[in-house]
Amino acid sequence: MLSRVANNLYWMGRYIERAEHFARYSRVLYFSTLDAPILKTYDRKFVLESILYMAGIFDMEEISEKEVLLKIGLELQNSNSILSNITFARENARGARNAISTDLWEAINKYYHLARNYPQDTYLTTGFYDFTMMIQDQTSILSSKIYGTLMHDGEWAIILIGMYIERVIQIIRIINSKLHDIYKIEQAGHTVTEMSFEWTTLLRCVEAFDMNRKFYREIPDREQVLEFLMLNPHCPRSIAYALNGIRRYEEKISRNERKDSNTIGFNIGKLVEQYRYLSFDEYKDDIYGLLNRTHDKVTQIGSEFEKKYLSF
């Protein structure tokens, strides 16, 4: 396989995953105000700031609801917007057209045109929910095409490595964003008992609310939610699960490579085992530190993977 094609497959996977996380987080946060029991979370500016924080957009001096929704959704001039990520995914899929199935290509192409041609006026008035749900639905279709129509070989593994690396990064961004929100709510003088709604919202932001309830069978709180989203190896939206995914598919590519301290496999394996034997008590007072260190390590692993397999 050409390095150029591998690079296209890798970034196609990353952009697909990134667009879906942006869309889900924005929708959950935007509509959470309808049920919020805490006065501060009724504040639309508070919600818009959280969405911008998660998307890494810090250059908006005056926050207008329509401007924020447009910037994160349909603004092609913003490389972090949902539409930009879908566009980048399609461009990379086109660059790897001979390596993917016709079914997957047609699904990506349809996805792009649905997003590209979504009426802006509708999006800014009554269509934000439908638009973000469409993004999630189309992502699910793409995932089924990736698993169901491609050979489960090295090319397929590269797509999934990209998706899992991006998933770790986006989960960390989502957790950091909600922790930032909760800090601001606490500074406003609200009690700990009022925070269960915020932890529930965090779970919904990563589609993990139902499984968390099944696993713990009690009202979500800080410890169980962070433990579930960071350490649970069976939750597909947890950091631990995504790290295992990176290791699993990296091993499919580097089958006979020795795992010495300079290899990608060694570094990702070391990180996986750290999460495997970590307990919440060990990091409960340093959540931000652990998340940021994990983000840096995964970003470094991604850079090393690109340098080794994707440079051309």
Looking at this protein, which amino acid is placed at residue 11?
Answer: W
- List, for residues 100-118, the tens digit of each pLDDT value: 999 999 999 999 999 999 9
> Within 13 A of 108's CA, how many CA atoms are on the CB side?
29
State the virtual CA torsion across 200, 160, 53, 38 in degrees, nearest 10.
Answer: -10
- CA 227 remoteness from chain centre: 18
**Separation of alpha carbons 157 and 139, rounded Å:** 18
Tell me what pLDDT residue 194 has.
Answer: 61
Would you state the structure tokens that stand for residue 198, as one six-digit string?
């915020």
- List, for residues 13-58, the tens digit of each pLDDT value: 999 999 999 999 999 999 887 766 655 555 778 889 899 999 888 7
Question: Low-confidence residues of the chain, pLDDT below 50?
Answer: none
Angle at 157 (CA atoms; ends 168, 308), nearest 5 degrees:
80
Tell me what pLDDT residue 192 has.
Answer: 57
DSSP string, the chain: --HHHHHHHHHHHHHHHHHHHHHHHHHHHHHHTTT-SSGGGG-HHHHHHHHHHHHT----SS--HHHHHHHHHT-TTSTTSHHHHHHHHHHHHHHTGGGS-HHHHHHHHHHHHHHHTS-HHHHHHT-HHHHHHHHHHHHHHHHHHHHHHS-SSHHHHHHHHHHHHHHHHHHHHHHHHHHHHHHHHHHTT--GGGGHHHHHHHHHHTT-HHHHHHHH-S---HHHHHHHHHH-TT-TTSHHHHHHHHHHHHHHHSTT----TTSHHHHHHHHHHHHHT--HHHHTT-HHHHHHHHHHHHHHHHHHHIIIII--
Nearest to 172 by CA among 53, 256, 258: 53
Tell me what pLDDT residue 41 has.
Answer: 55
* Other residues' Cβ atoms within 10 Å of the Cβ of residue 309: 19
Tell me what pLDDT residue 196 has.
Answer: 81
